[in-house]
Chains A and B, each alone.
Chain A
Amino acid sequence: MATVTMAQALNTALRDALTADERVLVFGEDVGPLGGVFRITDGLTRDFGEQRCFDTPLAEAGIVGLAVGMAMGGFRPVVEMQFDAFAYPAFEQIASHVAKSRNRTRGRVSLPMVIRIPYAGGIGGVEHHCDSSEAYYAHTPGLKVVTPATVEDAYWLLRDAIDDPDPVVFLEPKKLYWSKQDTDFATRHAPPFGRAIVRREGSDATLVTYGPSVPVALEAAEVAARDGRGLEVVDLRTLVPFDDETVAASVRRTGRCVVIQEAQGFAGVGAEIAARVQERCFHSLAAPVLRVAGFDIPYPPPKLEHAHLPGVDRVLDAVDRLQFDDVPDVRHLIVGAA
């Protein structure tokens, strides 16, 4: 056992994958000698050689398109998009080719590749460095979408993603890069790819969340516990495939649900989760499913991001509206409100 950061866990996962399978390649912008701007690929070029981990010209569509061709040619590319918003130039390649190649070829051309994207905020980043872009990918059929919340999951989900026969968009919550956990990667405790996990048990309400919002939910549950309220926290781990079973089982047990995401709320992943919970758990629900999300604004500047990011208070406010006192939630019924 050692204390490991999420950044180190991701680096170890890449190392172990490079060692395990000679078809694995790592490339992108500054991932070579520099080791990536977040140092996730630190030392890989030195230890595995320029053939296995290398810098490319600065062009995201080119990087993803190159990976498509190399995957067709028998490699398993793991590419890095330096920041969430910098991945947008690659979106056409991702949506029109990465996601659709298997389907377009009736299963003959699979693209086992991983697109790693540091995403979301909370690190005081400037414009274009803090977008929560998961909904774009989750909305695109043919992509698997992963976002780890713990150090252990960062390792195992990245190993799973690299081994997966389908393309995976691997979203790394930047603010958790330096989170720590005492662990080693000799034995796997993480659930299989595609399964959610109950991070904390509770009987009064379920908080469904993922990635950067998992620690927020866990902290909220801790505070609520002091007030005698038991909140269950479900960490989705993979947005696609989505684990309806674990989520619905928890909500049926608790009868109440709050969905938490850092991304802006409108048409986001949280909206999908809320709809799925309502469809499956309506008769177990004692209150409407509520969402806690970022606001529908462009990501704010560093000094104002605290106002945008869903924190413990916003989560607990939502929990308080779950009609524990049997009083209907009238927030949406206020005269003049839409």
Chain B
Amino acid sequence: MSTISAKALRRSMQNFLPSLAPVRFVAEDGTPEKPPPGYRAPDDALLREAYRRMVLGRRFDTQASALTKQGRLAVYPSSRGQEACQIAAALVLREDDWLFPTYRDSVALVARGVDPVEVLTLLRGDWHCGYDPMAIRVAPQCTPLATQVVHAVGMAEAMRRKGEEGVAMALIGDGGTSEGDFHEALNFAAVFASPVVFFVQNNKYAISVPLARQSAAPTLAYKGVGYGVRSEQVDGNDPVAVLSVLTVAVEHARAGRGPFLVEAHTYRMDAHTNADDATRYRDAAEVERWRAADPLDRLETYLRARAVLTDDDIEADRSDAESLAADLRARMNIAHEGDPLELFDHVFAEPTPQLREQRALLAAEFTAQED
């Protein structure tokens, strides 16, 4: 057995290593920057559409947070500030691709075309995910951290082995990259050369624990290198850059060149969920500093300067967003409890005799209460 030569190793490493700085097309003030070679700016029509989706996404997010205060949602993990990532993830995927999201990716699901009420079904406190994952190719929003990343590899392998051209994209946060399943997923995908994109939204906090206490890696993108996964880092609040890098990642996977890891540097503007108090672990000044990096403001300035976005467009988008929020409010305000007897129906394809007995027992309890 021969070991790899130093020269070959260096060349091999270069295939996997991320850029030294996050890929960026647009500075925080909305002025263009020169991106590194290999990345193309998306066309203006796509950027215009991305802007619209981001406006809708942010309004959806704000409305969902408000619904928790009215008791219409059990809990809501906001992705405010991460709209560039959420929308780009949805826009770079085709219909035949698969998305494997976490609980914080509701905005991406809405952008993918899942009905907003269905998106919020689980968070409303229901026992199921609301939508049909097979129909829209979106896995249930995953609560156990990083477990869905392995599923994405399995789905990518299934598509590859069936000769289909689909790509699977797994969404994950910075904290999730500490979980073993994340590493197993990277390793499996690299060994099998699976068509999968790992998209890490590094929003700097895992509930309260800051990134510095989560990982000593140079950046999270470097976690791909040891497994032989092509990796890149991107300014996660620059929608142009996120779209560009994710497009490259998806094309890489679709072309059969194996998995691709993208780390987006972004920031969770709100607390972990409505039940969390972020003032216990971070300064208002830090949040204020990130407000200046707002992805919507940045894209708006950039597109206005390019005359792609007008006052009328912005007005139209805001109006659409208000309609979406009003529709969501109206449909979420319908009281919903669910049928407790249905809890027995989908444990197995056919309920066992014991489940049938228990179902009858519960039905009898209800009948007795009614009498």
Contact = CB atoms under 8 A, between A and B. Distances in A.
- A joins B in a complex: yes
Interface of A: 51, 56-57, 59, 61-62, 65-75, 89, 92-93, 96-97, 101-110, 141-142, 144, 165-166, 194, 240-242, 244-245
Contact of B187 (A57, A92, A97): A57
B151 A97 contact: yes
A61 B181 contact: yes
Nearest to B100: A69
8 contacts: A57-B188, A59-B184, A72-B133, A72-B154, A106-B346, A109-B139, A166-B348, A240-B352
Interface of B: 127-129, 132-135, 139-140, 144, 147, 149-159, 161-162, 168, 180-181, 184-185, 187-188, 191, 345-349, 352-354
Given A69-B157, A142-B347, A61 B180 contact: yes
Contacts of A69: 150-158, 168
Contacts of A165: 349
B349 A96 contact: no
B98 to A, nearest CB: 8
Contact of A142 (B139, B154, B161, B348): B348
Contacts of A244: 353-354
Contacts of B346: 102-103, 105-107
Query: In this complex, which of B133, B158, B349 has the most chain A Cβ atoms within 10 angstroms of its Cβ?
Result: B158
Contacts of B149: 65
Among all A-B residue pairs, the 5 with the closest Cβ atoms: A69-B154, A73-B158, A65-B150, A62-B184, A165-B349
Contacts of A68: 150-151, 154
B128 A106 contact: yes
A107 B345 CA distance: 8
Tell which of A101, A105, A109, A166 has the most Cβ of chain B within 10 Å: A105
With a 10 A CB-CB cut-off, give which of A62, A89, A240 has the most chain B CB atoms: A62
Contacts of A245: 353
A166 B345 CA distance: 13
B349 A110 contact: yes
Nearest to B121: A106
Contacts of A51: 161
Contacts of B155: 69-70, 72-73
A108 to B, nearest CB: 5
A19 to B, nearest CB: 18
Contacts of B152: 69
A78 B145 CA distance: 25
B184 to A, nearest CB: 3
B161 A108 contact: no
A244 B180 CA distance: 40
Given A56-B191, A106-B129, 13 more contacts: A51-B161, A56-B188, A57-B191, A65-B154, A66-B154, A68-B151, A69-B150, A73-B159, A89-B180, A102-B347, A102-B348, A103-B346, A244-B353
Nearest to A64: B150
A241 B154 CA distance: 28
Contacts of B132: 105, 108
A56 B150 CA distance: 13
Which of A71, A92, A104, A109: most chain B CB closer than 10 A?
A: A104
A103 B188 contact: no
A102 B185 contact: no
A144 B347 CA distance: 10
B345 A74 contact: no
A245 B353 CA distance: 10
B270 to A, nearest CB: 26
